[in-house]
Structure 1
Amino acid sequence: MLLLSRLLLFAAALFTAAAACAGRAEYIEGRLGNGLAYHIFKVPSADRRLVLRLQINAGTADENDGEEGIAHITEHMVFQSSPAFPQGLGSYLNAEGWQMGRHYNAQTGYHHTRYMLTPPYGRRQLKDALAVYRQILTPQTFSAADWAKEQQVVLSEWRGQQTLQHRLSRQHHALLYSGSRSARYAPIGSKTAIENAQAETANRFHNTWYGSNNAVLVVVGDINPKKAAAAIEEHLGRLKPTTLPERTAGEYEPKLTDAPHTARVHDKDNTETKLALVYRFNNAPSQSSGSLAHYHRLLDNFAAHTISRRLQNMGQPVSFKLGNIGKQTGSLGFYADAAADTQQETLNLLHQAVEAVRQQPAGDEETAAYRKVLHNHMRTVPALPDDLPQIVQLADDTVLAGKPVPTPDNQAVERGQLYRISAAAVNKRIAEWLNAPDRLTIIQAPEGVPALAGQPPRPAPAAAESKRNRPETAPTAANTAVTATTAFPQHKGQGRLMSEGFDNHNKVSYLQFSNGDKAVLLQKAVAGGKIYFRAVADGGYQQSSLGAWQAQLAADVVSHSSPANFGGQSLKQWQQQQGIAYRYRLESDRQTTDIQAPQQTFEALLQLYRSRQTDPAAEHWQSTLETAALRHPVYLQSVPGRQEQELELLRYGRPESRAQNSGEIRALTQTALLQQWRQLASAPATYYVVSNMPSEKIKPLLVQYLADIPRRAAENRPTELLTGATLRRAAINDTGGTDINAWSWQPFYDWTPDTSEQIPLLVNLANARLKDELRSRNQSTYGVKFTALPQPVYNRVESNLFFSTPPAQAAEAWQTAQQVLERLPENISKNEADNLQQLFIEQEAKRQQNPEIWLERLAASHRRYGDARYLSRLPELHRTIIQTRLRQTAKLLWHTPNARVLLVDPVQIE
C-alpha cells in the first residue's frame, strides 16, 4: 500500500526524482538456462559496497492445509546444517565475520521469501554471496534436531509479534484481503501451528518452491555487469529447476462483494478510535505488462494526484491510500482518527471527503499542469541514479515486484503514453474507483465503546455524474492558498539583539536576545532551499510548578490545535501550502520543536512557532480528555502499561505521576490546560538553525518574532536514577515467554565528539555479539536490542538491553548477555576496529549530506560545550576509531554495579 500524503505522487519511472547523478549507473538483465532471472545494477558511487537480493516467489499465500507458517519456518531452516555446511549456514557466516541483521537477513511475506546479503567486505565477496544463494536454492533435507532448536527461536519471534499494533494490523489486513489466501493468518502463523510443525513439512515446501525457475536475483554495486553475469552463471547455473504446482489465480484475489458492508476492529488493549472507508475494485489493466500498462499506471497516478489535491483543499485530517491487494485487485481507502464519542461525525467527514472528490472533477488546465511536471522529470532526471540505497529501493519496487525498471527505453514508452491522458480519462478512473460496489467501512474503537452500525447514504450515481460533467470547477492553488499574512497578524517585535558572535571556521553565528533566549545559526550548502529550525526549551513536564500528567495533556491538546489567531483556517491545509513540517516533543526535562520549511516561508515558520508560544488554542480539548480518560484504565491494566509501571519502580523506585482515575482527567478544564501550557511555554529556549542563507538574512526575523516572547526561569525536578544492582520478576506477560528488560547507567564527565561518535559504532558491535552468543547457545532469544544513550548534559551514559526468551532459560540467558557486555571492551579485535572505522567513513559520507544530522550535531555541541567544536572535529574523527580507543570507550556501554533487571514472566494461571 502506498501512502499518499504529498502533493505529488510519482510513478515507478519517476523514482529517481530526488537523485543527484554523480555518475552513470548501468543495468542489465538476463535469465539462466535453468530459469533463474537476474538483474545487475552497476552503481559507480557504491565504491566497495555490494548489496544482493534473492527472492523466492513463494510465501505464506502458497501454504496449503497443514502448512500454516511453514514458508517462514523454511526461511529459518535454510540457515541450519547441511552436507555443505555441517555446522549450519548461519554459524558459518558468523564465523566468517558476517553479522546477522547487518550482513545477512531474510523476510517472509505473503507472496515471496527474500534473502538479503550485504557482504562485510563488499564487492570482493560476490562469489561468497552467490555461494550462500546456491546453498539456499539447493534441495535439502532439514534435520528434526535442527528444527527442535530453531522452533524455540520461531516461537520467540511469534511472542515478539503479539503486540497491540500487530494484532490490530492483522485484523485490518484480514478485512482488506478478505476471501484471498493472504487473509488467513500472519506469515509467522499461530503458536499452535509452530508447535506442531515438522521438519519434513518445511523440507517438502522448500523442494516444491525453491527452484531456480522460481527465483529472482538482484546484484547492486560498482561491478562489471558482464563479469557479474558470468559469476552468476558459474555459481548458480547448475541448479535444477523444479516443477511448480499450478496456482489457482482466484484463490489469491480478495473476493469482492456487490454491496457496502461494515466491520469492526477491536482489541482488549485498544484505546484508539479510527475509521476507514475503503473501495475495492478490479484493476487488472494497471498490473498488466506492455505499453498499455504504462498508460494505466500513469492514469492511476493522475487520479491519485487529483484526490490528494482535493483532500488538501478540503483542509480536514483525512488521508488516503491507493494500492494493489491482489494481482488483479486494487483498493482506495480514506482514513481518519476520531475521539471515542465522535465516530458518527468522523464517518460523515470521510463521506464528505469522498463527495469533495466527486464534486470537483479534474480540469484540463490542472491535468496539463501535472502532465508538464511529470514530463519535466522524465526529461531531466536520469533513468537510474548513481546512488546505492536508491537503486536497492528501486530494485525492490520494480523487478522484485514484477514491474519494469525505469530504463531510458521504458521512460520513452511512458512519455509516449503521457499525452494520451486527459481530464476526462482521469475523472472516469476516479469514478470507477468511487462507484465500486464493494465499499467497506472499518471501525476501530475501544472495548466497551459502541461502534456505529450503519453508514450515511451516498448521492445517487446520476447526481454525482452530473456534478462530474460540470465545466472546470477544481480550485487552484492560487485561489485557495492561505498566506502567512491572512493566517497571522503582523508582529512588529519589541525585543532586541543584545550580543552576537561568529565562528568563521565553522560558519556559525551566536545570538543573544533581550528576553534571554539564544540562537545558533549554521550556514551549510547541503540545506539547499530549506530552513531547518529547532527550539530547545530546558523545561519539561517535571517542572516544580506543573502537574506532570496535566502538562502532558495540555501539550497534546495545544500542539494539535490551530493557533488562536489563525482566523479559522485549517492548520493542516495552511502547513501544506506553506511546505511547513512541524513536530513538537515534550519530555520530562525539555521541550523540542522541530520545523522544516522552504526558505521563502521562514517568516511563516516563525509566526507559527510564536503563536503557539504566546497565543495558544485548545481545540477539541474535551474530546482529547475523553479519549485520555477512556485510555487511562485500559492502559494501566494492559501488559505494556503494567510493564511500564514495573520499569519505573525498577529505575526510579516510584511510578511517574499519573491521574488517580479517569474522573480526574475529565475534571480538567480548558482554562487549566491553557494555564499548564503557558507555564511550559515560558521556559527559556535556544534556537538552532541550519540553512544555506547568510546569518544577516535570518537575524532580523529571529529578533522580530522571538526576542520578545515572555520567559521566566524553569526549575526542573528530575527523577533520580537508583544506584545498585537488582533483579526483579513480574508475572504479567501474556505471550508465554519472558521479556528481559535490563538497564544500567554510569557517570561520565570527559565527553568529546570522539566518544559520542564511537558509542553508536560500539552499540552496533554489541548487538551483533549479543545475537550471535545468545543464538549460538540455543537459548532461543528473539528481539535482541541493545542501546546506549550518551547524555552529556547529565554527565552519564544510560544503557538498555531487551530480549525475549522461554521462561526456563531466562536467568541463564540474562547472565550470558551480561557477560557479553562486560567482556566486550577486552574482546574488540584489530580487525573489528578496522571494520568499524570503515563503517564510520561510509556512514559519515552520507551524514555529511544530511541537513538534519548537521542540526543534531550543532545542538549537541552547543548544549555540551557552548560552541561548535563538535563540527570542527568531524574531519579527523575517523582517526580516533582505533582498537585502543574503542576498547576504552566500550567500558561506557555497560556498568554492572548499576545493572537493574526486570524479568517479565508469563502470567501464572491458577
Structure 2
Amino acid sequence: MKQRINRNPSILALLLSIICSYSWAQEFPDNIEADIPNDLSTEIPLDSKIIKGKLDNGLTYYIRQNSRPENRVELRLAVNAGSLMEDDDQLGLAHFTEHMAFNGTRNFEKNELINVLQMAGVKFGAHLNAYTSFDETVYMLTVPTADTTLEKSLQILEDWADGISFEDEEIDKERGVVIEEWRIGQGAQRRMLDEYLPVLLADSRYAERLPIGTKEILENFDYQTLKRFYEEWYRPDLMAVVAVGDIDPAEMKAEIERRFGDLKAPDKERAREVFDVPAHEDNKVVVVTDKEATFNQIQLFYKEEGLPEPEETFRDYLEMTKHNLFTGMLSQRLNELTQKADPPFMNAGAYYGNIIRTSNAFQQYAVVPENGIERGLQVLLEENEKVKRFGFTETEFERYKKRMLTNYEASYKEREKTESSGYAAEYVRNFLENEPVPGIAFEYKFLLQFLSEISLDEVNALAEEWMAEGNMVAVVMAPEKEGVQVPNEAAIENIIQQVAESEVEAYEDEEIASTLMEDVPAPAEITSEKVIEEIDITELTFANGVKAVVKSTDFKDDEILMTAHSPGGHSVYSDEKYFSAANADGIVQQSGVKDFSGIALQKFLSDKNAAASPFIGELKEGVSGSAAPEDLETMLQLTHLYFTSPREDQETFQSYISKYKSLYQNLLSNPQYYYQDKVMRIMSQNNPRGGGFPTQEDWESVSFDEAMDAYKDRFADASDFTFFFVGNIDLEEAKPLLATYLGNLPATGREEDWKDVGVRPPGGIVDEKVYKGTDPKSMVRISFTGEMPYSKEEAYELNSLIQALNIKLIEEIREKKSGVYGIGANANASKYPYEHYTITISFPCAPENVEDLSQAVFDEIKKIQDNGPTQEDIMKVKETQRREMETNLKQNNYWLQALERAYFTQVDPKNIVEYEDAIEDLNAEDLKETANKYFNFDQYVKVVLYPEETTESADESGK
C-alpha cells in the first residue's frame, strides 16, 4: 500500500513516452474504427468498448472485456475521497482507513482476506494493493478468473465499499505498521517538502493535508474518529467499480448491480468540496537545504490561475496536443544541453499538467552540479526566453509531429494486445479526474486528421501564455555542505529578473542525415539452421561464427526484442583499467555512432520504433534493443554500427564524466545510500570491483583512451556472440537482414572467456553497525551466503523456499508484531563466476526494535528448518508459481531473458517450459532440507543502519 501525491500523466503523455515508428508520407488509413467529425465543439466520445454506467445510488461502474492477459481480471474500487476530506483530528486517517481494509471485513475476518487470495496465487503487494492521495483512495486487485476466485474478489470489493470491520484490536495493531510507513518517509526530501510545499500551495488546504498525516494523531486517535471518516466518505456517489479482463461483460454488469446496488449513503451527506490553490500576483522563491540532501535541484512552477478547464471537446483535445508538442520540443532542447562538455545540468525537462488535481502549471525541473545552481537556473530561463522570443523551428516542429504520430500508431497497432491494467488505470482517472477515454482508435485517427492543422505559431504562442509574469514559484533544493554556497532567495529573484532583461540568441537546429548506413554489405552465408520444436525456436549460424536464436510470437503485434552476449565483460581487464572499461559502454551510448552524435542519433530515430545500445557487464558484453517489425533493419543497422563504427568524441566523454561526478558527489550524504555503500563493501570485503558507489577519484581515473580501447576490444570479435530475437518476427523475411548485418560483423575467431576477479563475501558471522542520519529509523540487512552445486533444480528449490519464507515474514513480522511496513527475502543461485548462492532478508524499522525483529526473523527460519513450511503455505507457493508461469510464457520479455540465461549458463533451453512437474512435486520435506542446507547460522552477515545520535538504550540493544 502506498501514498500518492501527484496524479499520473494523461494518456497522451504516457503515449508520448514510447519510442515508436511512423512514416510521415503514409497515406491516411481508411480502416481505423473511429468516427471523427470536423466540428471541434463536438464532445469527446467514450470508447465504445467500455460499458460505463451509474447505479441508482450513484455508484459508477466501468466494464471491459480484454484477454490480455488471458484468464485474468483487473478490479478496482476507486473512492473520490482522500486526505483533503479529513477533519483536523483525522490527519492521516484516510490512509489509515485504506490499511484497515486489509485487516478484517464483514465476510473475511482479520487477515483471512489476504490468505484467501494467496491460495489463488495472488501476491500481496504485486497483485493486491491500494494507495491514498490528497483527493482519492484506490484499491487494486489482479486476480485469476478460475474457480471461485473472481466471485470472492468481488465480495472483497463489496466489503471494502461497505463492510470494513474496524475491530479495536486490529486498529491498534495497524498503528505500528502505519507509523513504520510514516518512518520510512522521513528524511531530507520530506523535510524540504515540508518547507517548500506551503509556498507552492500557499493558502490551500493541500498544504495542510499530506496523506501520511502526523505521528501524534496516528498514535493517539480514538477508534470512532477513524470510523467516522469511513462512514462519511465511503459512500456510493463517491465510488466507482472497475472490471477489465477476460470476463463476460453482461455477467459482470449483473454482479455489480447485485452486489453494489443496495449500498446506501449516510443520512446526512457532507459536501465533497473542491479545494483550489489561490493565485498570487508576484513570483515566489523558496530555497531549502538539508545536510542529507543528495542533489542540487531546481523546480519552476508557472501556475495557472483557477481550476483546470475540463477536457470535454475535440478542441480541448487539440489543445492538449499543442501542450505536448511544446513540452516535448523544449525537453529535447534541454536534453541536448546535458550533452555539453561542461553541462549546466545533468538532467532537465518540461511538463504541463497538474501539481495537484485542482491546479495546473507549466513545470520545469533541472538537476545541477554543485555550485551550479545560478548557472543552471540561468540556462533554464534563457531557454524559456529563446522560445518566448523566437519560438521553435520548423524542423523541430515537423520532427516532433512525426514522433507524436509514431507513438500513436504504435499504440494503435497494439490495441488488441494491450494489458488490462492500463485500461483499468485509465478508467479510474476518468472517474476521479474526468480524463477523456475515447480509445486509441479515436486518438490516432484524430491526430491524423487534425495534427496538420496545428500551426507552429499556435504552439509558440503558449510560451507567452504559460510564462507570464506572476503566479510563479521557483524552488531550489540543495545539500547543506561546508564550503558550498547556496544562493538565497534574493539571488534567485535577481537571476530571474536579469534573464528577462538580457539578450539571447535563437536556437539553431542541426541538419540530420537521412540514412544510417550508405554502404550496405551483401548478405553473408547462413552455415547452419537448427529448429528446437519443443519451444519453437530456430538457431542460425553465420559464416563469421555469429549465432542468432529466433522465437516468433504473437504476444505483441508491434514488438521485436533483442539481446546478445559474448563471454568476457570487464572481468578481463586489470584493476587499474577496470573503471574505464566498466564505463566504456555508457560513454559510447552517449557519443553515438559513425557521423551521428548522440543527439543527432536521437533525432534520426525520433520517427522510428528502433533502439539498440551496447553493454559491458562483469562477465559478458552485448547489445540490447527493440523494434517494430518494419524497423527491424534500423535496429540491426544500429547494432552493426555499434560494433564497427563507435563514435569517439572527447566532448561527450567530458560531459559523461562531469555529469556522473556531479551526480555522485553528495550521494553518501543520504543515509540510505551511505548504508547501501557500506553493505556492498562489507559483502565484497572491500574488493575494488565488488560494489560500492564510485568515488570522485574513481571518476577521475576513467581514461578516454582506455575506455575506447576496451570498448573496441570487446566488440572487435563477434564470432562468439549469440543474438536472441523474440517477438513478431517473420523468420524468412528476417534471414537476409540478419545475414547482412550480423553475418558481416568482424570476426577474428579468438578464444576468450570471462575471468573470476575474486570477489567473495566474508566468512563466519559478521555483525556490523552503521551510523548515519538524524531520523529515528534503522535498516536491517541479513545475508546468508555460501557455495552450492548449481543446477536448475537446486535453484528452483531455493527460490520456492524463499517464497514460503516471505509469506511467514509478512504474517509474523508485519501483521502480528506490527514492527515493519515492508519486509522481504530474496535468493539468487549463481553458476558464474563460481557456483554459489546468496539469500538476503531486509527491512526498515525503529532503532529500538532492531534486535527483537531480527531475532523474530531468525525464529521463522528455524521453524522452517525444524518443521518445513506449512501445507497451506506450500499450496500458496505452488499456485503463485502456476499463475506466474501462465502469464510469463506469453510475455516476449520473459522469453528473451529465459533464453539468454539458458544459453549463457549452458542449460537446456527446453527446460523453460518444463515446469509443471517441478511445481507438482514441491513438498514441505524438500524445502525443510533446503532450509537446513542454505541457512547456516554459523555464516551470515548482518548490517544495521542506526541514526548517528542513537539513544543509549537502542545502542545497547544492538550490541
Q: TM-score, normalization: structure 2?
A: 0.77
The match for 1:14 is: none
Could you say which residue in structure 2 is the equivalent of 1:324? 354
**Alignment partners' CA distance in 2, 1:287 and 1:145:** 45
Aligned to 2:319: 299
5 Å matches for 1:261-300? 261-282=284-305, 284=307, 286-287=309-310, 290-291=312-313, 294-300=314-320
1:770 aligns with 2:813: no
Instruction: Check the 8 A contact 1:267/1:447 in 2, yes or no.
Output: yes
Matched position secondary structure for 1:522: strand
Query: 1:153: how far off?
Result: 0.8
1:188 alignment partner, one of 195, 205, 212: 212
Matched letter for residue 529 of structure 2: F
Q: Pick from 799, 811, 815: which aligns with 2:858?
A: 815
What is aligned with 1:699? Answer: 739
**1:307, distance to aligned residue in structure 2 (A):** 3.9
Give the equivalent residue in structure 2 for 1:130.
154
Cα shift at 1:457: 5.0
**Greater displacement, 522-531 / 124-133:** 522-531
| 8 Å Cα contact 2:325-2:459 kept in structure 1 | no
What is the CA deviation profile of residues 768-793 of structure 1, one whole-angstrom value per residue up to 9, with x for unaligned ones? 33212323432422221222223233
Aligned residue for 1:152?
176
- DSSP-derived class of the 1:287 partner: coil
Greater RCO (Cα-Cα under 8 Å, separation 6 or more): 2
1:297-696 → structure 2 map (5 Å cutoff)? 297-309=317-329, 311-312=331-332, 315-317=336-338, 318-358=348-388, 359-360=390-391, 373=405, 387-406=419-438, 418=450, 422-423=454-455, 425-429=458-462, 431-435=464-468, 437-448=470-481, 449-452=484-487, 453-454=491-492, 455-456=495-496, 480-483=511-514, 501-505=528-532, 506-510=537-541, 513=544, 519-522=547-550, 524=552, 530=560, 532-536=562-566, 538-540=568-570, 543-546=573-576, 548=578, 559-561=589-591, 566=596, 570=600, 572-574=602-604, 576=606, 581=611, 587-591=617-621, 593-597=623-627, 598-602=631-635, 604-606=637-639, 609-610=642-643, 615=648, 617=650, 619=652, 621=654, 624=657, 628=661, 631=664, 634-636=666-668, 638-648=670-680, 650-654=682-686, 656=688, 664=697, 668=700, 672-675=703-706, 678-679=709-710, 682-683=713-714, 686-690=721-725, 692=729, 694-696=734-736
How big is the shift at 1:59? 0.8
How far is the alpha carbon of 1:111 from its aligned partner?
0.7
The corresponding residue for 1:781 is 820
- Residue deviations 1:650-703 (CA, integer Å, cap 9, x gap): 53344646999978468x377x35325534653477352426353442234335
Partners in 2 of 1:481 and 1:689 — Cα distance? 31
TM-aligned CA distance change 1:508 to 1:338, over 3 Å: farther
**Matches of 1:92 and 1:295, distance apart in 2:** 49
1:108 equivalent in alignment to 2:132: yes
Distance 1:630 1:402, change over 3 A: closer
1:399 alignment partner AA: F
Q: Quick one: which amino acid aligns to residue 2 of structure 1?
A: P
Cα distance change of structure 1 residues 9 and 896 upon mapping to structure 2, 3 Å threshold: closer
Q: 1:310 to 1:732 in 2, by over 3 A?
A: closer
Gaps of 5+ in 2: 1-7, 19-28, 34-46, 339-347, 953-959
- 1:902 Cα shift? 2.6
Q: Contact between 1:287 and 1:328, CA under 8 Å: does it hold in 2?
A: no
The answer for the alignment partner of 1:209 in structure 2 is: 233
Q: Structure 1 356/886 Cα, relative in aligned 2: closer, same or farther at 3 Å?
A: farther
Q: Residues 187 and 380 (structure 1 numbering): CA distance in 2 closer, same or farther, change over 3 Å?
A: closer
Aligned partners of 2:441, 2:559: CA distance in 1, in Å?
32
CA distance in 2, matches of 1:648, 1:367: 45
Q: Are the aligned partners of 1:35 and 1:241 in contact in 2 as well (CA < 8 Å)? A: no
Q: CA distance change for structure 1 residues 548 and 795 in 2, over 3 Å: closer, same or farther?
A: same
**Cα deviations across residues 701-722 of structure 1 (Å, max 9, x unaligned)?**
3354543699987644131123
- Give the drift of 1:215: 1.4
> Residue 779 of structure 1 contacts residue 805 of structure 1 at CA under 8 Å; is this kept in 2?
no
Alignment length (residue pairs): 870
Q: Distance in 2 between matches of 1:654 and 1:836?
A: 38
Deviation at 1:741, TM superposition (A): 0.9
Equivalent residue in structure 2 for 1:29, among 37, 52, 74: 52
* Counterparts of 2:920 and 2:771, CA distance in 1: 44
Stretch deviating more after TM superposition (80-89 or 595-604): 80-89
Per the alignment, residue 280 of structure 2 pairs with 257
Task: Tell whether the 8 Å contact from 1:278 to 1:440 is kept in structure 2 after alignment.
Answer: yes
State the 1:222 CA deviation: 3.3
- The AA in structure 2 aligned to 1:325 is I
Partner of residue 942 from structure 2, selected from 901, 904, 910: 901
**Is residue 887 of structure 2 the alignment partner of residue 843 of structure 1?**
yes
Q: Secondary structure at the match of 1:782?
A: coil
**Aligned-partner SS, 2:943:** strand
Deviations 1:474-508 (A, max 9, x none): 98xxx8434455xx997999xx9999543233212
Contact 2:588 2:646 in 1 (8 A): no
Asked if the contact 2:588–2:648 (Cα under 8 Å) also holds between the matched residues in 1, the reply is: no
Structure 2 SS opposite 1:882: helix
Deviation at 1:39, TM superposition (A): 1.9
**Inter-partner Cα distance in structure 2 for 1:717 and 1:371:** 45
For the Cα contact (< 8 Å) 2:882–2:919, is it kept in 1? no
Task: Give the residue type in structure 2 aligned to 1:883.
Answer: D
- Asked whether the 8 Å contact 1:682–1:711 carries over to 2, the reply is no
SS where residue 257 of structure 1 aligns?
coil
| Alignment equivalent of 1:739, drawn from 779, 782, 789 | 779
Identical amino acids, percent of aligned pairs: 18
Preserved contact between residue 612 and residue 624 of structure 2 (Cα < 8 Å): yes
* 3-state SS in 1 of match to 2:301: strand
TM (norm. structure 1) is 0.80
In the alignment, the residues of structure 2 paired with residue 123 and residue 169 of structure 1 have an alpha-carbon distance, to the nearest angstrom, of: 47
Kept in 2, the 8 Å contact 1:55–1:112? The answer is yes
Shift in Å at residue 591 of structure 1? 4.9
Distance 2:435 2:743 in 1: 53
Give the whole-Å Cα distance in 2 for the aligned partners of 1:90 and 1:378.
40
Amino acid across the alignment from 1:438:
N
Give SS of 1:39's match: strand
Pair 1:374–1:45, CA change in 2 (3 A)? closer
The verdict on how the C-alpha distance between 1:271 and 1:84 changes in structure 2, with shifts beyond 3 A counting, is: closer
Matches for 1:870-881 after TM superposition, within 5 Å: 870=909, 872-881=910-919
Alpha-carbon distance change, 641 to 843 in structure 1, aligned in 2, over 3 angstroms? same
> What is the SS of the residue equivalent to 2:721?
strand
- 8 Å CA contact retained: 1:340, 1:626: no
- The CA deviation at 1:108 is 0.9
8 Å CA contact retained: 1:531, 1:690: yes
Aligned to 2:270: 245
Q: Which amino acid aligns with 2:270?
A: P
CA distance in 2, matches of 1:616, 1:709: 29
Aligned to 1:792: 831
Q: 1:241 Cα shift?
A: 0.3
**Correspondence for 1:862:** 903
C-alpha contact (below 8 Å) 1:59/1:110 kept by paired residues: yes
Judged with a 3 Å threshold, the aligned counterparts in structure 2 of structure 1 residues 385 and 429 are, in CA distance, closer, same or farther, namely farther
Please say if residues 523 and 695 of structure 1, whose CA atoms lie closer than 8 Å, have aligned partners that are also in contact.
no
Root mean square deviation, CA, Å: 5.0
